[in-house]
Amino acid sequence: MAKPNQPIIIKKIKKAAHGHHGGAWKIAYADFVTAMMAFFLLMWLISMTTPEQKTGLAEYFAPAAVSLSTSGAGGVLDGSAIAHSGSQSSGSRPDISRMDPSAPRDAAYGGAGQGNAGNSDADSPAVAAEAYHSAAASIRQALQALPEVTPYLNNLQIDVTDEGLDIQIVEQYGRRMFADGSKAPLAPARVMVAAIAPILQQLNAQVTISGHTAAGVRYADRSYGAWELSADRANMVRAILNQNGLSDDHIRSVSGLAATEPYFVEDPFMSPNERVRVSVAFLPPPLPEALNP
């Protein structure tokens, strides 16, 4: 018996090339490139900042361990002042610098030394150094509470010195404090100067205000140049301080120094040399009447 015809089945196997196993590697590579770009951008920004700005950034991310205590004073802090004894939070650092015990005790904070002239601990260098940092922290807190001056915080440089505080209202590229050739400060400068006045009033200190200009600036009016402009700007800052709570007995002198003391000595022509400097020198504690010569 003949077998029926069966179809012949031929199986052809096609070998496909290996795929790319998905696109996960692309996402990882994009993240790597983004991280490298952010890293080089950070390095570039750090290289462009001044030592004063680096110090300010370091203090911003490691704030002083201070607490607010209620006082009877009003003003910018609405009755709150920086207390000398604050609870230190985890990860923060104490903002008190120890001075050489042999250094002259020539500074006192208004709240630390008043009524304690005979107390050696009240007018010690450590307490004076604490007062400097407390005043600087009060100013920074007052400015951070004002959103309208947030873009201009770098224009106000605050440094703690052996004598007290050094506050400088500095011109920045794109963020000016005074109109070109004008003695009148712009709105952000007015707000910042007004904010520091009540804090300076609480200090047992003398304030010296000096105006400075950049070198090489030409003035249209020959009778009104760098000396006149720097003096008028310093006097305008003095007037704003007076209007916002700083009494005349706290002001020692107001002067215009033109371009004689540039902020950037290596380049006196730079715009940031245009500034007003407010130097706060703490007074020594008063001697008892029996010890007066």
Q: What is the pTM of this model?
A: 0.56
State the pLDDT at residue 113. 38
Phi–psi pair at 156, nearest 5 degrees: -110, 105
CA distance 235 to 242: 10
> Which run of H or E residues covers position 111?
helix 110-113
State the pLDDT at residue 233. 95
Mean pLDDT by 10 residues, the chain (293 residues): 69 63 80 91 82 71 46 41 39 38 39 41 62 86 91 90 89 84 91 94 90 88 90 96 94 94 89 91 62 53
Domains annotated on the chain, with CATH: 52-86+93-291 (3.30.1330.60)
- Tokens representing residue 230 in the block: 């720097």
What are the beta bridge partners of residue 170?
A: 275
Q: Calculate the alpha carbon distances from 92 to 87, 96, 293 in Å.
A: 10, 12, 46
Residue pair 214/259 in contact (Cβ under 8 Å)? The answer is yes
Beta-strand ranges (E) seen in the chain are 68-70, 80-82, 156-160, 164-170, 205-212, 251-256, 275-282
CA distance 110 to 15: 88
Task: For 15-32, give one letter per residue: b (16+ CB within 10 A) or e.
Answer: eeeeeeeeeeeeeeeeee
CA distance 149 to 137: 17
Query: How many CA atoms lie within 13 Å of 269's alpha carbon, on the beta-carbon side?
Result: 3
